[in-house]
Amino acid sequence: MDSRTTTLALFAFGATALTTSLVKLKSRIALSRAKHRSLGGHARLSRRIAALIPFYEYDEARFFCSDDPPEDIAAARQAGFMQLAKLYAERFPETMRLTGSVKDAISDLQFTDTYRVPFQFRHMVQRHLGAPAFVQSSAGVTLTDVDGNQFHDLTGSYGVNLLGNDFYKGCIARAVERAGELGPVLGSYHPVVADNVARLRAISGLDEVSFHMSGTEAVMQAVRLARYHTRRTHLVRFCGAYHGWWGDVQPGIGNPLPAHETYTLKEMSEASLRVLRSRRDIACVLVNPLQALHPNASPPADSALIDSARGARFDRQAYADWLKQLRAACDENGIVLIMDDVFLGFRIAPAGSQEYFGVRADMVTYGKTLGGGLPVGVLCGRKELMKRYRDDRPLDMCFARGTFNAHPYVMAAMNEFLRHLDTPEAHAMYSGLDAVWNARADALNHRLRESHLPVRIANLSSIWTVIYTEPSRYNWMFQFYLRAEGLALSWIGTGRLIFSLNYTDADFAAVADRFVAAAETMKRDGFWWHDPAATNKSIKRRVLREIVAHRFGRG
Ligand SMILES: Cc1ncc(COP(=O)(O)O)c(C=O)c1O
């Protein structure tokens, strides 16, 4: 090679390297633009920041005046809190005793009990209000604890309880009868599986079905298959969306390992669509349509309520439009669209989110209520995506099995649920469903407004979240007032109230009365007093200053 050729070769090499770097940079910038500005949108950063935040807590005096109220307000808060503590001790003695007796031995209980309120308030709450964890029975829309107290059930059993606990008791009892002859025989199928498969295919509009033990597993399998068939590495999930507790779908706080093959993008964003259209490493996109109630925000737990910034508003048309754009972007770039309907599934329409929002997915995951009260996860998908091996490469397979998959009792309970969906009663229930729940939410909001209470409801059909209209550091206390009024919530508190669809107008009226009464007592006890100059921002800044002071030993 003469020197001219060498120079030309070097130039060509340099130009290629530069072009490659520029392309990479462009794609990196596009990815950054598609991240939500919150910490939830930055998994790695959020984990780093979480590791820096020190524990500190308020002593008994500070507990009631973290926002510097006048003395009489602090005294009213303290008196109200102690009154609640007395009521809990008198009303729930056996429930508390039983909870205390196992708490040290059940790690899940320790976890939920710890993340019920912002950590600065944790110990006082644990000491005086506890977290009664035992219930004895259910009937209609109520739960009864081991002390005989009856509560209206707003826990929704994590979303499983769609049709009322009695309905699922019936499913399980009939399932035991139908599958009892076979018993817990695994590996082969009970005949009821054939009917389930036919019904699931009709509901999902997809070709094949696989059975799993939980929603988490169904999501794992969907993503694994999408990677296998596209031969691409990455999954896309949207900021804030929950898809179970498997590492790849939980890249931020809560997972000790970074999820290297996960992109967390902004939902309802053109910048995200651009990334989906242009990158070559994306195998699939996971959508949890429950996020339509609060796009890009994490599931609304009271432990994060340090101010009143929690927002929520459901816009069905806007979310349907987004899903259509998402569908088109996935089609353009050969990306598998996975609708995670584990939670929302049968709650909004008999054929789930695909029907409700008018969009078709390549794969759909179901779970929760579909099991007829027993644990389940289901994946439905297009034939070419569900195949677990290649005909021309016998050792190239995508493995998935599970000891308890398609358990006869679960399959029979599922069949009870699925057959119910075909009854005139179920059809009638779905028609006008949103109108019923929107009217109920409106009616309660009207009462709250008329009573000058700083609380409102936002809802996606029968899934409700409580929002707070004035800046406060104490909104998380509301869950304890609601309990005192006989309303049972799940451990994330007022962030999610889940109604079963067997709530009658009279049942709902009772809930509304209790809800308003709880808010009135909390207001009377001074927990919603606020400095007229306070804003959510000023509250956040103040908490941040506390954190910094404790971090550097000045707290
Ligand atoms: C949308 C969604 N996907 C997956 C899961 C995980 O399901 P499971 O708890 O059955 O593993 C959940 C659970 O809440 C969910 O809401």
How far does CA 55 lie from the centroid of its chain? 26
Ligand 1 contact, 216 CB (< 6 A): yes
> Which atom from ligand 1 is nearest to the alpha carbon of 340?
1
**121 vs 57: CA distance, rounded Å:** 6
Nearest CA, atom 2, ligand 1 = 243
Region class of 235: left (phi > 0), else alpha (psi between -120 and 50), else beta: beta
Closest by CA to 138, choosing from 508, 502, 510, is 502
**410 vs 213: CA distance, rounded Å:** 9
Ligand 1 contact, 340 CB (< 6 A): yes
Evaluate whether 482 touches 518 at the Cβ level (below 8 Å).
Answer: yes
Evaluate whether 225 touches 217 at the Cβ level (below 8 Å).
Answer: no
How far, in Å, from the CA of 343 to the mean position of ligand 1?
6
How far, in Å, from the CA of 370 to the mean position of ligand 1?
12
CB environment 228-248: b (16+ within 10 A), e (fewer): bbbebebbbbbbbbbbbeeeb
Ligand 1 contact, 379 CB (< 6 A): no
**317 vs 473: CA distance, rounded Å:** 34
502 DSSP assignment: T
Ligand 1 contact, 343 CB (< 6 A): yes
Residue 381 carries which side chain, given as an amino acid letter? G
**330 vs 348: CA distance, rounded Å:** 25
Mutate to test the pocket of ligand 1, among 341, 343, 370 (most ligand atoms within 8 A of CB): 343
Q: What angle do CA 412, 362, 250 make, to 5 degrees?
A: 80
Ligand 1 contact, 243 CB (< 6 A): yes
What pLDDT does residue 455 have?
A: 98
The three-state secondary structure class of 91 is helix
The three-state secondary structure class of 257 is coil
**299 vs 243: CA distance, rounded Å:** 11
Evaluate whether 135 touches 148 at the Cβ level (below 8 Å).
Answer: no
Where is 364: in which H helix or E strand?
strand 363-367
What pLDDT does residue 130 have?
A: 82
Ligand 1 contact, 242 CB (< 6 A): yes
What pLDDT does residue 555 have?
A: 63
**326 vs 276: CA distance, rounded Å:** 8
What pLDDT does residue 548 have?
A: 92
What pLDDT does residue 41 have?
A: 92
**Hey, how many other C-beta atoms are within 10 angstroms of the C-beta on 530?**
19
The three-state secondary structure class of 289 is helix
Task: Give all strands of the β-sheet with 463-468 in edge-to-edge order.
Answer: 455-460, 463-468, 497-498
How far, in Å, from the CA of 371 to the mean position of ligand 1?
13
Evaluate whether 229 touches 388 at the Cβ level (below 8 Å).
Answer: no
Q: Give the up-direction half-sphere exposure of residue 60: CA atoms within 13 A in the CB hemisphere.
A: 7
Closest by CA to 58, choosing from 8, 117, 136, 143, is 117
pLDDT in tens, the chain (555 residues): 577 777 777 777 777 777 778 878 888 899 999 999 999 999 889 999 999 999 999 999 899 999 999 999 999 999 999 999 999 999 999 999 999 999 999 999 999 999 999 999 999 999 999 888 899 999 999 999 999 999 999 999 999 999 999 999 999 999 999 999 999 999 999 999 999 999 999 999 999 999 999 999 999 999 999 999 999 999 999 999 999 999 999 999 999 999 999 999 999 999 999 999 999 999 999 999 999 999 999 989 999 999 999 999 999 999 999 999 999 999 999 999 999 999 999 999 999 999 999 999 999 999 999 999 999 999 999 999 999 999 999 999 999 999 999 999 999 999 999 999 999 999 999 999 999 999 999 999 999 999 999 999 999 999 999 999 999 999 999 999 999 999 999 999 999 999 999 999 999 999 999 999 999 999 999 999 999 999 999 999 999 999 999 988 866
Nearest CA, atom 12, ligand 1 = 244
What pLDDT does residue 219 have?
A: 98
- CB-count burial class (<10 Å; 0-12, 13-18, 19+) for 154: buried
**Hey, how many other C-beta atoms are within 10 angstroms of the C-beta on 353?**
28
Evaluate whether 199 touches 417 at the Cβ level (below 8 Å).
Answer: no
**404 vs 424: CA distance, rounded Å:** 33
Report residue 156 as tokens.
């929704």
Nearest CA, atom 7, ligand 1 = 215
Closest by CA to 95, choosing from 55, 42, 135, is 135
Report residue 397 as tokens.
């397979």
Residues with Cβ within 8 Å of residue 313, at least 6 apart in sequence: 293, 294, 458
> Which atom from ligand 1 is nearest to the alpha carbon of 344?
1
How far does CA 257 lie from the centroid of its chain? 21
Q: To which residue do tokens 């939670």 refer? A: 343
Ligand 1 contact, 288 CB (< 6 A): yes
How far, in Å, from the CA of 111 to the mean position of ligand 1?
18
Evaluate whether 355 touches 330 at the Cβ level (below 8 Å).
Answer: no
The three-state secondary structure class of 385 is helix
Phi/psi at 310 (5° precision): -60, 130
Q: Read off the pTM.
A: 0.94
Closest by CA to 353, choosing from 365, 363, 362, 341, is 341
**209 vs 257: CA distance, rounded Å:** 31
